[in-house]
């Protein structure tokens, strides 16, 4: 196997395993990993516009999280309201149940992140991060991670 091919498959394997572990931890909460990402983003940055949310999502490509948000609104976790300055502008916020679920999601994520932290012990994490950033540079998911990490101008929910 060529080194580049092995890198590709190792990244895929790590992503799939991480997503499997996350989904397993989220199952009792009744949310998917993609829904959990929306809840956590809103917990950290609400209100967000639909486009502001789309710019920050890694789980959803294309920057249009409408169906994902619709499911969370139906579940009573997210509130969709017209913007105060422009009725066409929609602001997304968490409901009280959404806040509670977002806190539970954060606990599940913390457990997953602790396991990842354990696996990185003794490795040059800065070099791995630099490689992965270079690999996704200029891609929508890479830009979303950069925005969330504060390496670029983060969108706001304001019109």
Structure confidence at residue 158 as a pLDDT band (50, 70, 90): very low
pLDDT at 120: 93
Range of the domain at 42: 11-123
In a domain, 58, yes or no: yes
Q: What is the mean pLDDT of the chain?
A: 90
CA–CA gap between residue 116 and residue 26 (Å, rounded) = 17
Report whether pLDDT(59) > 90: no
pLDDT tens string 93-146: 999 999 999 999 999 999 999 999 999 999 999 999 999 999 999 998 899 899
CA–CA gap between residue 15 and residue 29 (Å, rounded) = 21
pLDDT at 154: 43
In a domain, 118, yes or no: yes
- Note the pTM of the prediction, 2 decimals: 0.85
Query: How many CA atoms lie less than 13 Å away from 102 in the CB half-sphere?
Result: 21
Cα dihedral 61/64/66/67 (nearest 10):
-30
In a domain, 33, yes or no: yes
pLDDT at 62: 60
In a domain, 131, yes or no: no
Q: What is the mean pLDDT of residues 31-60?
A: 92
pLDDT at 64: 72
Beta bridge partners of 92: 48, 80
CA–CA gap between residue 11 and residue 47 (Å, rounded) = 33
Angle at alpha carbon of residue 71, lines to 38 and 61, rounded to 5°: 50
Place of tokens 């502001």: 52
> How many other C-beta atoms can be found within 10 angstroms of the C-beta atom of residue 118?
8
| Domains of the chain: total | 1
Q: What is the mean pLDDT of residues 35-56?
A: 93
In a domain, 6, yes or no: no
- CATH number, residue 110: 1.10.10.10
Question: By the 8 A CB rule, do 47 and 93 touch?
Answer: yes
In a domain, 49, yes or no: yes
In a domain, 133, yes or no: no
Structure confidence at residue 63 as a pLDDT band (50, 70, 90): low
Q: Which two tokens stand for residue 4?
A: 């580049």
In a domain, 153, yes or no: no
> Among 4, 11, 2, 25, which residue's Cα sits nearest to residue 142?
11
Question: By the 8 A CB rule, do 120 and 11 touch?
Answer: no
């Amino acid at each position: 196997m060529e080194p580049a091919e092995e890198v590709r498959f190792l990244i895929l394997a790590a992503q799939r395993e991480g997503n499997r572990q996350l989904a397993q931890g989220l199952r009792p909460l009744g949310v998917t990993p993609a829904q959990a990402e929306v809840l956590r983003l809103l917990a950290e940055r609400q209100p967000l516009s639909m486009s502001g949310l789309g710019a920050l999502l890694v789980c959803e490509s294309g920057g249009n999280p409408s169906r994902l948000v619709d499911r969370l609104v139906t579940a009573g976790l997210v509130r969709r309201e017209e913007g105060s300055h422009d009725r066409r502008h929609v602001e997304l916020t968490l409901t009280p149940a959404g806040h509670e679920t977002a806190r539970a999601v954060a606990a599940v994520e913390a457990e997953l992140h602790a396991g990842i932290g354990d696996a990185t012990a003794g490795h040059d994490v800065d070099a791995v991060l630099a490689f992965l950033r270079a690999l996704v540079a200029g891609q929508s998911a890479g830009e979303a991670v950069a925005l969330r990490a504060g390496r670029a101008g983060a969108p706001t929910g304001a019109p």
